[in-house]
């Protein structure tokens, strides 16, 4: 009789924190629907929008800096000039 195979989880490196978060709100027959996109480069947003529903259904697109869980320090404009 063969013994049981025991699988252990493999530790994966943490996923990088992508720099930008874009929330695109679309109009649908069921009401507004939000779709979140996480991006490293803002240039990538255009491609994601083009792949989604027709752009005429977009109600809003809000882009924010995604730094809630990032280890990167929060700087002021003045502090950033010193770097």
The pLDDT value recorded for residue 70 is 58
Burial class (CB in 10 A: 0-12, 13-18, 19+), 24: buried
Sheet holding 31-39, edge to edge: 31-39, 20-28, 58-65
Which residues of the chain register pLDDT less than 70?
1-3, 5-15, 68-72
How high is the pLDDT of residue 7?
A: 64
pTM listed for this prediction: 0.70
60: tokens are 């809003």
Here the tokens at position 58 are 């977009």
Digit-coded pLDDT (tens) for 16-34: 778 899 999 999 999 999 9
């Amino acid at each position: 009789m063969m013994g049981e195979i025991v699988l252990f989880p493999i530790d994966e490196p943490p996923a990088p924190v992508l720099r930008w978060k874009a929330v695109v709100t679309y109009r649908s027959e069921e009401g507004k629907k939000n779709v979140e996109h996480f991006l490293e480069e803002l240039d990538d947003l255009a491609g994601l929008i083009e792949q989604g529903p027709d752009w005429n259904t977009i109600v809003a697109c809000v882009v924010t800096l995604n730094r809630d869980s990032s280890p990167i320090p929060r700087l002021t404009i003045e502090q950033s000039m010193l770097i």
